[in-house]
Amino acid sequence: MLVIAINGSPRKDGNTAQVLQSALEEAAALGAETAFLQVSDGIREAKIPYCAHCSTPCKGVCYEGTALAGMLDLLGRADGVIMGSPVYFGTVTAPLKAFWDKTRRLRKEFALLNVVGGAVAVGGSRFGGQETTVRALHDMMLTQGMTLIGDGHLSGDVGHHGVCAQQPVQDDQEVYKRVRLLVHRVVEVARATAELRRASRTAAQS
């Protein structure tokens, strides 16, 4: 099983990255292979930093031979994804939106269909737009046909929509409890749906 964390923050070691790294540590403890994608690095190397919808279906020519191509190939193998973003004007960052727009080729290949996804948002204040950002992350994942993890039950409450944190995250101990619960749910559901992903990816290749 492969669980990938996608850091939408331009800061490689900022608050969002710290929460995502803790998520990967938990996933590794549960036996998963893990990977961390710093999307700003990939977007920086793309020939065009945003999707211009230059071909339908997408041929990926704008990032061919770049680090972004490697990131997207890795993402296409994922069983679970934890996607995180700081709150920028009530929604996700520009690098993360640009990165996700580049996943059009993966959509054609059904690569993310039935992949299990969870969302993390970090705001500058307790009520700093985290839930609207989480909902934006969900909308992005839903367009790929992903299966989303939100609230569970009283003993597994990750938050109604996802994990919402306040910076500095090292002072917000509640977020680490909730991100552990989120990862457990992602891994649990990913294990239960593994055959669905195998079937859809095999069908796309045939």
pLDDT digit string (tens) for 156-174? 677 778 899 999 999 988 8
Q: What is the pLDDT of residues 109-137, one digit of tens each?
A: 999 999 999 999 999 998 999 999 999 99
pLDDT band, very low/low/confident/very high, at 206 (cuts 50, 70, 90): confident
* pLDDT of residue 10 exceeding 80: yes
* The pLDDT value given to residue 143: 96
Range 89-126 burial, b when 16+ CB lie within 10 A, else e? eebbbebbbbbbebbbbbeebbbbbbbbbbbbbbbeee
91 Rama sector, left if φ>0, alpha if ψ -120 to 50, beta otherwise: beta
Superfamily of domain 2-205: Flavodoxin domain (3.40.50.360)
Cα 195 to Cα 53: distance, rounded to the nearest angstrom: 32
Q: What is the pLDDT of residue 155?
A: 65
With a cut of 80, say whether residue 39 has pLDDT above it.
yes
**What is the gyration radius of the CA atoms in the chain, in angstroms?**
16
- Percent helix, strand and coil across the chain, each to the nearest 5: 45, 15, 35
The whole model's pTM is what?
A: 0.94
Please report the pLDDT score of residue 152 as a whole number.
Answer: 67
| Exposed/middle/buried for residue 150 (C-beta within 10 Å: 0-12, 13-18, 19+) | middle
Q: What one-letter code names the amino acid at 137?
A: L
